[in-house]
Amino acid sequence: MNASRHDSASKLVLAPLGRQRVETGVFFLLYYLYVWLVLDTRLIHHAIGIFTPYYALAFTTGWAMFRECVSRPGGLVEYLARFLSTFYGVGWLGAAIVTCLAWCTSAVVDALQQITGQTRGMVLRYGPPVLLLAMHGKYDQPLTTILSLLVALALFLIYQRLAPRNAVTRVVLLLVLSGAAYIVAGPKGLWFPILASVYEWPINGHAGRAVVALVSALLVPGLLGVLLFRLPGREVYTGLLLSAEGLAEGDWLYALVLHLYFPVVLTGAVLRPLAVTCWRSCRAKLAVIAANPSRGERLVRFLRRGESRWSVKLAGICLAAGAIAWSTLHADTRFALLLDFYCQRERWHDALRTADSRPQNVAYDRNQRNVLMALYHAGRLGDTVFSYPQAAGRDPYLVPQAERDVHAYLQESRFNLELGLVNRAEKCAYEALAGTGDLPAVLEHLAMIHIVKDQPEAAKVFLNALGKKPLHRRVATDLLQRLEFDPRLESDPRVRRLRRCRLSEDRVSAALVGNCEESLRALLDQNPDNRMAFEFLMVHYLRTVRPGQVVEALSQLERFGYSEIPRHFQEAVFVHASQTNTPFPLNEYRFDRETQARAAAFFNILGRSSDREEAKQRAFEAGLSDSYFFYCWFGVSGWNSHGE
């Protein structure tokens, strides 16, 4: 009989524990999958240099960086954040890091509730993980902020467990841990004495100890910062509430809410009577409002923590967390980063698949440049370029100075290198290097430029620097070994192709910097087989509405092995005939029947429309907004074809 009762009691104890483990496992498994497959930490890593300054997150192996970091308060956390940020570049591993940090914040909430004698709730413990999703959803890099806060929380839990009853010893331990928090986590470590003061006064009722904790938050940084680290007085407390490097200033509110979340949970025991009173009042109102008293009672029982179905609550929490994460995700930023990510890695078909999913956003210059490169490498530049929004009368590769960032310089450099403007590519790459420091993509690109220019020793300098970057050591080592056996890398087909396209140094002039047409013509004069220069020159003529130049160049298509005339080139012939009032040359070129039908339909619409806006709307309704006809007459392309 006693044994049976003992077994029943054991089951009652184990059941909530088992449910808690299943609940935690399910929530954080879904959390991991969302971060990995939807948020995609690779894009957070790629955003470094675009939205996040690289110098604050740069990591290099060796003692030099470690010594430099530990020479200032918060350097240990900064070093760890720099190290972990590199692994954001591996999607599944970055998702594991974010999920692990989120689980730590949830575990701290559980510990704080246990300290204050509160009943563990399924909702409260998942607040910090959802806040982390919101911070990451803006594609900032909040690692330093999160790690600093976790250090302060961990030291508080140590203090709560180990603090002796003796008042003097307790104060000594408080001061020692406050100093450790400041040294390890910097100014954000001062949240430890803030938590300690909350614990000592509202929870334990010792106002004197709380005052000592707050005083330590003021004195310890001053003493350590000024005397030990030789910091100016104004820098000692900088960063306590403001966002850390890697987190946009406009998003500091998320960080502030996250930091305040834990003191609020800690004071839950004090606020609990007020919360119970409010709950009873709400429950009474629900019972009165409900038309059917039995339904009202069921609603009340469902809302109460202990009586509602566990599985339904878990599903509701997961759905609510997912809805919050999705609503705070910057979809446009994600789209632009993903497109740029694929293009930088020369995954052209993935880039076009991404562009096709949200083509209305490719009107931005950065996205436009990426789409043009992807279309060329996919062999679709002359056929589908006007299926995407194009900015009329503007060369997307002439980036205004105000819009230039590290990746814009790198993007322009890669474009120039592929064309054959190697010196121009080198200049842009060094601009990127000066703007951000040793970003791995910039180092690898500069090494390739110097290899193309037959400067292997200069290339080795950048490859040696690249070898000190985690996740890039293998690439650097492989290239260094190849250079030892073949200094000119003649066995590499890409290097041979770039050298053939390279414009000779004595032909580089000021005209090639700002005049796209002259640059492309010079490249073709030196190497008539430069297909990339030819196609981009043709697109330049199309974009500047000079179809006559396109018609003159059609005779060169055979040289480049075209089996048929690209669609937009065919359309340019019809436009030229219309502009010169000559008959359509249907017998002179091999036109597709579809192109002929679209040309007839478009010009028929122009003839039947009373004004420009009516013609534009009719052409769109006829499915002609992706044509060169539409671009020439209305100055836009892809107009309203995808919900713009």
- CA-based torsion, 106, 112, 118, 119: positive or negative: positive
Tens digits of residue pLDDT in 294-323: 555 554 454 444 445 677 778 888 898 999
Using the structure block, give the residue that is written with the tokens 């790198």: 410
The answer, yes or no, to whether residue 20 has pLDDT greater than 60, is yes
Write down the pTM of the prediction: 0.85
Tens digits of residue pLDDT in 478-499: 999 999 999 999 989 999 988 9
Tens digits of residue pLDDT in 379-399: 999 999 998 887 666 667 676
pLDDT at 580: 84
Secondary structure (3-state) at 48: strand
Top-ranked range on mean pLDDT: pick from 224-238, 251-265, 584-598? 251-265
pLDDT at 99: 97
pLDDT at 9: 41
Q: Round to whole Å and give the CA distance between 466 and 440.
A: 6
Instruction: Output 327-335 pairs: Cβ under 8 A, ≥24 positions apart.
Output: 328/133, 328/134, 328/137, 328/138, 329/38, 329/39, 329/137, 330/137, 330/138, 330/139, 331/358, 332/358, 332/361, 333/47, 333/51, 333/138, 333/139, 334/40, 334/43, 334/139, 335/361, 335/367
Least confident of 111-125, 240-254, 342-356: 240-254
pLDDT at 506: 40
- Taking residues 611-626, report their average pLDDT: 90
Q: Round to whole Å and give the CA distance between 137 and 627.
A: 36
The secondary structure of 216-243 as a DSSP string is HHHHHHHHIIIIIS---GGGSSTTSSSP
> Residue 152 in contact with residue 192, Cβ under 8 Å?
yes
The answer, yes or no, to whether residue 293 has pLDDT greater than 70, is no
* Chain-centroid distance, C-alpha 273: 44
Tens digits of residue pLDDT in 131-154: 999 999 989 888 988 999 999 999
Task: Select the more confidently predicted residue: 298 or 118.
Answer: 118
pLDDT at 563: 84
Residue 387 has what DSSP assignment?
A: G
pLDDT at 306: 45
Task: Select the more confidently predicted residue: 241 or 389.
Answer: 389
Residue 237: pLDDT band by 50, 70, 90 thresholds?
A: low
Residue 52 has what DSSP assignment?
A: B
* Domains in the chain: ranges and CATH: 20-271 (no CATH), 334-507 (1.25.40), 545-634 (no CATH)
pLDDT at 504: 74
Looking from the CA of 120 toward its CB, the CA atoms found within 13 Å total 16
Residue 360: pLDDT band by 50, 70, 90 thresholds?
A: low
pLDDT at 269: 64
Residues in Cβ contact with 81 at an 8 Å cutoff, skipping those fewer than 6 apart: 57, 143, 144, 147, 246
pLDDT at 362: 57
